[in-house]
Structure 1
Amino acid sequence: MKRITMIGDVGWSRFYHLGDEAMTELAIEALQRRGDISITLIAGQPQHASEMYGVDAISRIGFKRDREPNITRMERILEFAESEGRSRTLTPNDPARTVIETVRDSDAVLIAGGGNLNSMFAHHIYERVTLGRLAKLFKRPYALTSQTLGPLIYDEDRKLVYEFLADAEFVGSRESYTTTFAKQVGGKRAVVRRQVDDAFSLTAQDEDREAVDDLTAEPFILASYAEKASSPVLADSAYHAHLVDITRRLADETGLKVLLVPHAGGLPPALPTRDQLTNDQIAGEVGRESVTSTRMLTARELIALTEKAEFVVGTRYHAGIFAGAAAVPFISLVPNLYSSIRMRGAAENVGMEQFVLPVDSVDDVVATGVGVAKNRAEFHAALTDSSARRRAEHDDWWDFVVAHTVGDGSGETPSASSVPAPDFFHADEVENRFDSAAAANRARLSAIEEFGLLLAKRDRQLAVARKQAKDAAAALEVSNARHERQDGMLAVKAARKVRGWQRKLKRGVRRGAKAVGKRFTEAPLRRNLEARAPARRRGRA
């Protein structure tokens, strides 16, 4: 039996991020389908993750958002691993101990899909880099699948990411931006392969379709919205207003029901959160019976629901992934830099890049939605071929993943030629003839990316400068305090010397006075005695 250690951003009992869970779920399924492979999943809450996915699970190493403590923690973990536990740099109950043992006992390490190699999430970078270094220490191959790199990689993180990518067996990139960026950041040593998002091949089962039957009684639009804009140029209030406007107009102008489906929330019995709360608010403000907020669904249940939709619209990235896989037309709405890069890449994979629009282009979004609803069969036919070819290609991708991590079954060490990486075909672009300002919207998306990167780098520079100023002020305060203490000590010493001198002076004065007094008192007495001496002698005679 081969053993793989896998990390995914999954496994929380009170929070279910549908896209992340879908990528990890597909990775587990794809591995187990290809041989006798035992998987240990590094997850948020191991017991919950183990019950959900039917595999062994352990806790994360645990890193924070601050880099300096993370660097120290990573060094201690590696020192402990290198010394085989003799260094005592980790406490007995440190979860990193279990991770070290698991990686050492594995045949390979797999970094499941996501956009975690991003300086906005420094703790994720350190978690994954540490796993890579442990794998390298124990001479175990590690690989990354279904990744978005960056788009923000700050200077202080670049070296870490460079080494991590360069030492990996391969990096699976889910969009052209990452393919290019990974080669830049990872240098010539990085082996970057293009693929679709891993959630693309996750499928619904009969029980999943039965679970959403109550939502599919009449034709509907499936809408999935992130709870906030996460943009430096678009306020959350304006973003929310655009979503309300788009939803109301789509319902009114298409005559279709609109289901607001969360991608981030709490599966029962967990309390509603994030997208669920936003969807309830949007439904209330739209004020139409045809617009309803649904319960939180599992990834497979949402796939089953997507298959029945007239079309999909939203600011959630995986809404487009599920739609493209099901050959359902979709419109992706961009509020920020990160969304633009991922959504354009996902849409490009199936030819739908012209259907990625800025979220504030409300008129063009609604016109596109109305046009897609009227011509659904045309778009479905165009997507069917792309979807089928991508699924076959993705199946070959996972053959490649297994061959280059745990081997291809020959018993030989994996090599670059054992199973070649699958080709990645270029999907024909589908025309969006309903967008009245297509060129302008393309330019605006590029501007969102360029301006977003510029602002993010500026904000980082300001943050670094503020920290440096704060550190300098603290150092100055310490220095001043030290000087004050030194000055105080000098003053104390001087005072002590003065007091010493005063004591010496007083002693000298007393001795002098005593000597003088003795001189003045002894002389008359001596003269008096000498004068009386003859009389005393005559009396004795």
Structure 2
Amino acid sequence: MHGYSDSNKGDLAIVVGMVQGIATTRPGAGIQLQSVYSESDPEFDFHHRFVRKMGVKVQQMAVPSPYVDSADQSRFRNVVAVRNLIFSACAEACARLLPPLKGLLPRQTAALDAMRGSDIVLLKGGQYIYNDQRGLRALLYLWRILHPIYVAAGMKKPVVMLGQSVGPLVDDRGRRMTARALGLCKRLVVREKKSQALMAELGLQATTELAPDFAFLIEPKRPDAFPATAERIESGRWLGITVVKWSFPDAADPQAKRAAYLDAFTEVAKRVHAKSGLSMALFPQVTVQHHGESDLDLLKQLAERLEQLGIPYVLVTDDLAPEELSYLYGRCEVLLGTRLHSCILAACAATPVVAIRYQGFKTEGIMAELGLGDAVFDIGAMDVDGIEAAIHRSSESRARISSLIEQRVAGFRKQLIEVLNRVLPK
């Protein structure tokens, strides 16, 4: 459940890791991915181009996202989304509770039939069970995310949450909604200790266990379909960079915070190039449009600044699979990563990482598990001196850090296979 866009390479890496893990532990098992995107979205097929190549059947969820385009956020768009959500919820209820109407609601019926015919329902890993704001919109989002658990439980299907960071949950209503829904799950597998502690606070410790993110099952692979990019990265010395087009929702002046974020990257790049001679490799880890924007927009601004400063760089815009990104991150001396899964994919290739935390506690938790807890910085207070020092330490100790990461990742992979062997039907 809860498939997202393949243009978000982190979410894609989670799905690929899960599919590969299931294929390893349960050869021949059929897999269906239900997407948060509506099949009425004109980009539905593009959103799932990589997953379908793996032989996975993809369909929309019975109650998909009410946003069916990538336009800029607006009051009118939100009103339309509420209308779409009400329609989808009513259609799902009719298809589920009134069999004579099933033929009139083919998408909802197909999604429900797939769930009804399954042996187990898995909630895809990531971080999407949260309400980080108060108000009706946040609660409607949380209801939509949790609703499939009730549907599956009503069908007597075992539900397992795999590789989640849960939260933040900013109000009591959101906490009660989450505790009630997750209490119906057979097993809750969280990917860092703060989520584990939150599950205990919600009274769910008996069914909770800690395991790594499923993207750690990704094995690096050279992007042979893009030889020019591979050869360019292989032939240089690079500081890899990923960014996030973050909205800074808690800031008094979000535009000023976003400007400071970009200024900090520019200054770090300038200092690192001057001291160590590294060039900059810019990777848009997420190119799916969210409220009309993507990470690529911000990287293009950074590229313009590097051009003006005379700092050599490459902006990688090829449509790469997670294993191909991992390979390229592996050719960088260090990755300065804001997107969590760029950090994970770099770790899969044993590359030292300096991480920028931007949402919840997922980044600091996973970096701590990698033994890199002292190389995490907050997006709201970009510590240029600290980031620069961490990059130089990582570069100077690359062999030692790479060996540490390699050992940790090997242990993570073994643990993930053990988790799947426990939770999947025989």
Tell me by how many angstroms 1:313 deviates: 0.7
Q: Structure 2 length as normaliser, TM-score?
A: 0.82
Q: Which residue of 2 aligns with 1:57?
A: 58
Following superposition, the deviation at residue 295 of structure 1 comes to 1.2
Change (3 A) 1:257 1:122: farther
Within the alignment, does 1:371 sit opposite 2:423 as a pair?
no
Distance 1:191 1:332 in 2: 31
Q: Which residue number corresponds to residue 308 of structure 1?
A: 331
Most deviating of 155-164 and 206-215:
206-215
Residue 169 of structure 2 is aligned to residue 160 of structure 1: no
Map residues 126-525 of structure 1 onto 2, 5 A cutoff: 126-185=143-202, 187-188=203-204, 191-207=207-223, 211=227, 212-228=230-246, 230-233=248-251, 235-265=257-287, 274-286=294-306, 287-296=309-318, 297-334=320-357, 336-338=358-360, 341-359=361-379, 360-402=382-424, 407-408=425-426
Deviation at 1:152, TM superposition (A): 2.9
Displacement of 1:283: 1.7
The residue type equivalent to 2:64 in the other structure is G
Counting matched residue pairs gives 384
Structure-1 residue corresponding to 2:120: 108
Question: 3-state DSSP class of the match of 1:38?
Answer: coil
Partner Cα distance (1:128, 1:370) in 2: 42
Secondary structure (helix, strand or coil) at the match of 2:31 reads strand
Deviation at 1:153, TM superposition (A): 4.6
Residue number among 112, 115, 119 corresponding to 2:131 in the alignment: 119
Query: Which letter does structure 2 place at the counterpart of 1:345?
Result: G
Scaled by the length of structure 1, the TM-score of the pair is 0.65
User: How far apart, CA to CA, are the structure 2 residues paired with 1:106 and 1:153?
Assistant: 34
Post-superposition offset of 1:203: 1.3
How much has 1:26 moved relative to structure 2? 1.3
- After superposition, what is the alpha-carbon deviation per residue over 1:451-500, rounded to whole angstroms, capped at 9, x for unaligned? xxxxxxxxxxxxxxxxxxxxxxxxxxxxxxxxxxxxxxxxxxxxxxxxxx
Q: Which moved more, 1:51-60 or 1:21-30?
A: 51-60
* 3-state SS of 1:149 partner: coil
Distance 1:158 1:76 in 2: 27
Please give the alpha-carbon distance, in whole angstroms, between the structure 1 residues aligned to 2:407 and 2:236. Answer: 27
SS in 2 for 1:58: strand
Kept in 2: contact 1:74–1:126 (CA 8 A): no
RMSD: 2.8
Compute the displacement of 1:288 (Å).
Answer: 2.7
Q: Deviation at 1:18?
A: 0.9
The equivalent of 1:40 in structure 2 is 32
Aligned to 1:24: 15
Query: Which stretches of structure 1, 4 residues or longer, exceed 6 Å deviation after superposition?
Result: 65-69
Alignment correspondent of 1:9 = 4
Q: SS in structure 2 opposite 1:151?
A: coil
- Give the drift of 1:387: 2.0
CA shift, 1:229, in A, is 5.3
The runs of 5 or more residues in structure 1 that have no matched partner are 1-5, 409-541
User: Aligned partners of 1:152, 1:250: CA distance in 2, in Å?
Assistant: 38
Shift in CA distance, 299/123, structure 1 to aligned 2, threshold 3 Å: farther
- d(CA) in 2 for partners of 1:53 and 1:380? 30
Query: Which stretch shows the higher mean deviation, 390-399 or 342-351?
Result: 390-399
Q: In the alignment, residue 230 of structure 1 is paired with which amino acid?
A: F
Q: State how far apart, in whole Å, the 1-side matches of 2:232 and 2:17 are.
A: 26
Give the counterpart letter for 1:312 in structure 2: L
Q: Any conservation in 2 of the 1:357–1:365 contact (CA below 8 Å)?
A: yes
8 Å contact 1:328–1:380 — kept in the other structure? Answer: yes
Could you tell me whether the CA contact under 8 Å between 2:14 and 2:215 is conserved in 1?
yes
Structure with more of its chain in helix, by fraction: 1
Q: Percent identity?
A: 18
CA contact (8 A) 2:269 2:280 kept: yes
CA distance in 2, matches of 1:315, 1:100: 37
Which protein, 1 or 2, shows the higher relative CO under an 8 Å CA cutoff with sep ≥ 6? Answer: 2
Is the 1:247–1:258 Cα contact (8 Å) retained in structure 2?
yes
Task: Say which SS state the counterpart of residue 114 (structure 1) adopts.
Answer: coil
Give distance in 1, aligned partners of 2:182 and 2:160. Answer: 9
Q: Which moved more, 1:27-36 or 1:16-25?
A: 27-36
Distance 1:250 1:140 in 2: 53
Q: 1:389 Cα shift?
A: 1.6
Deviation of 1:381 (Å):
2.3
Q: CA deviation at 1:184?
A: 2.0
Instruction: Go from structure 1 to structure 2 and tell me whether the alpha carbon gap of 1:95 and 1:397 turns closer, same or farther (over 3 Å shift).
Output: same
Equivalent residue, structure 1, for 2:135 = none
- One-letter identity of the residue aligned with 2:184: D
Deviation at 1:193, TM superposition (A): 1.2
Per the TM alignment, residue 214 of structure 1 is displaced from its structure 2 partner at its CA by: 2.9
Q: Is the 8 A contact 2:160 2:185 kept in 1?
A: yes
CA 182–68 in structure 1, closer or farther in 2 if over 3 Å, else same? farther
How many angstroms apart in 2 are the aligned matches of 1:327 and 1:123? 40
